[in-house]
Structure 1
């Protein structure tokens, strides 16, 4: 009997994108890779809009629902909807990929930065020059905070040095709140001055501010970790500094899916990323609950929706239209926009084709709240299925 190979599902969660990779632990080959684009900001914008509408009604003393005061309690582990959607997206894809591939374990980047390691490690010449793991944690944090630019001149793409805002010779500490990034020219020019004396008091303020995106990741990390443990697979955890250490060691470029392949200490000594075609997965949701459109005064402008599904199709499905006669003869593949009349529109890579009858359409993939494309070619794609060899998405 053929021997079962070991596959590791690796995840690099982020506030806007999450990298996913399946790695053959014996050969080091990345057999599947994807980047999930979350819709947390869209959810927050929708909730803000709804809150504004309700407050406007209340202020104008117009019709609105009665106040409810018995729904203010939150269950243990409650997360805002914008953050909960990130956890749900990752959980959905772990479940789907587990059905397609014999996953032996999961590797999760649990923390972006190992703050305990940064606080206990003394920043000295060895770490500046040799780049130990503790140095990687610190650099990654500062690069993220100061957007990979010099904190003083603002120029990107230069070799950056870790610099003390208040010099050590004047009582400055090695605390992360007293460190910033500077190019060599600005570092030498600043000399023994503080950032305020050098003319940049805002640098000190920025150094003390927490990072917004890592804060979102840190808020959801344990919820995601606990959900992954419920799959019954061993879950390995790693830090962002270790991920960068593994990626730099192998000379790989920085992308979300490559970062995912480098998560954890179980990363093979040599990763083979040459055979994978990364998939771009964008969370789009399942439509809106709004039944009709409004005019600028808030009055109903259109009739309510007749339905969501007609003739076996719904808006967002990926389909093939084979038209054999008429003005629109040809084969079209793309997303469908439906009408109750049966006259559909299809959005292809060449543009929109309107007015094709539903009888010409064949369903390829039902709308599941995600849109798919290839990262390299920006082409429409369908998600992996059990029939697709090698766990790669089907090419349209």
Structure 2
């Protein structure tokens, strides 16, 4: 849990049990519910020991893993100093880039339809609008803005001294050149082996391109065989299971899939389809680092290969939060390791702050309903965290959740297990909406690693649950 000093300065995070003890004894007060933060009543920054924490980021297209860690320096029996990296708080930030992209396409479709229906005589608009330097599409810019917003909050609630960011895992320019004559040999075995294979695993969803077999050994297979003039370009490579690879042999893909035209069409379409997630990350990687540098905290960048190596040596599975814990330098030869991670991860989902549209369109793009201009109704806004005390009816009891406001005063309350309407008179505001929803997901722990009594981190299990704790 995040801890603030009496004057509001960030202190070292504490264990949830310690936070509950401080709240029960009256030595601390609740400062924020999500993320959960307490403020001490009897301690200042000068009277506390603050060693500082590191924020580690694993940027992704759909979600970004964030880990708040500290480091313990230990002296071994031979006098060598090793580092034990502890995960204090792990966060999975879920972006809404695809939602923004779909909304932009929908709006463009509405405008195009209205123009073609009513203004057929109007000439097309000149494409002379200039974009400022560094412009990115809204769906891509959102990934940078949401990550920056959350890291700024972490710097406000925790004593951050360093920020570590993983660079993009795939260099699409180098991958495109990997099959050219005389280039592949100069790139070395790392790109030719690991990065190309990982790129194909991501592009073909870790399954065979010809039969969709998964959880089996997969080989890199040439769609057009090299014996018939096929190249080693990434656009000529697919993943195939051993039986399909042997059955295809030196045949053309058109001959091998002649009896399955639907599969042939899908394979050819996937070959020419770019990996959109990789393209989005390549467009934002440098802007994200430059934006984080404005916080005044040293920012260090690391390769995806380093993250993969740390995770593989520790024997940890892949997930956003595990990758975030593995970002940065660890000298495994001297005994450095990841020793602990929280039992739960904080899931932060970007929800936005509402729409600009003042009408609800029909399927043709014409206004159907008029939306209220005011976003705050009866003192509440959509996304506020509230406590509802229902005195009678089917939903009698005390509930905690987020609301969607309505002009009638019967706001829609969403909790962990249900959704129902409740009057604004029965609500108590706990926290204003900030454009994000907060929940928790459990972490499954591994057994001891390398013979020590340390618990590792595994893939998250179970579903996400909202921040809700019924009082009754």
TM-score, normalised to structure 2, is 0.69
Residue ranges of structure 1 left out of the alignment (5+ in a row):
383-393
Residue pair 2:59, 2:166 contacting (<8 A) in 1 also: yes
Match for 2:464 among 343, 354, 378? 378
Does 2:51 correspond to 1:5?
Answer: yes
Match for 2:295 among 228, 231, 240? 231
Deviates more, 1:216-225 or 1:91-100: 216-225
Residue pair 1:114, 1:241 contacting (<8 A) in 2 also: no
Deviates more, 1:162-171 or 1:133-142: 162-171
Match for 1:162 among 217, 220, 238? 220
Does 2:158 correspond to 1:101?
Answer: yes
Structure 1 partner of 2:139: 82
Q: Hey, what's the Cα distance between the residues in 1 that align with 2:184 and 2:52?
A: 36
Match for 2:117 among 49, 55, 60? 60
Does 2:395 correspond to 1:337?
Answer: no
Residue pair 1:111, 1:238 contacting (<8 A) in 2 also: no
C-alpha distance after superposition, 1:139-171 (max 9, x if no partner): 211101111011232211112223344555666
- 1:341-356 residue pairs with structure 2 within 5 A? 342-356=409-423
**SS of alignment partner, residue 253 of structure 1:** coil
Residue pair 2:53, 2:68 contacting (<8 A) in 1 also: yes
Residue pair 2:310, 2:330 contacting (<8 A) in 1 also: no
Structure 2 partner of 1:184: 242
Q: Hey, what's the Cα distance between the residues in 2 that align with 1:303 and 1:135?
A: 57
- 1:1-396 residue pairs with structure 2 within 5 A? 4-26=50-72, 27-61=84-118, 72-114=129-171, 119=178, 122=185, 135-167=193-225, 173-196=231-254, 198-199=256-257, 203=267, 206-207=270-271, 209-266=273-330, 269-294=336-361, 301-305=368-372, 307-323=374-390, 329-340=396-407, 342-358=409-425, 360-376=426-442, 378-381=464-467
Shift of 1:54: 1.9
C-alpha distance after superposition, 1:37-95 (max 9, x if no partner): 211122122222222222222223369x9998697111000111111111111110111
Residue ranges of structure 2 left out of the alignment (5+ in a row):
1-46, 73-83, 259-263, 443-462
Shift of 1:340: 4.5
| Number of corresponding residues | 378
Residue pair 1:109, 1:238 contacting (<8 A) in 2 also: yes
Q: Hey, what's the Cα distance between the residues in 1 that align with 2:370 and 2:210?
A: 57
Residue pair 1:117, 1:134 contacting (<8 A) in 2 also: no
Higher RCO by CA contacts (8 Å cutoff, separation 6 or greater): 1
Relative to total residues, which structure has the larger strand share, 1 or 2? 2
TM-score, normalised to structure 1, is 0.81
Shift of 1:351: 1.8
Shift of 1:136: 2.7
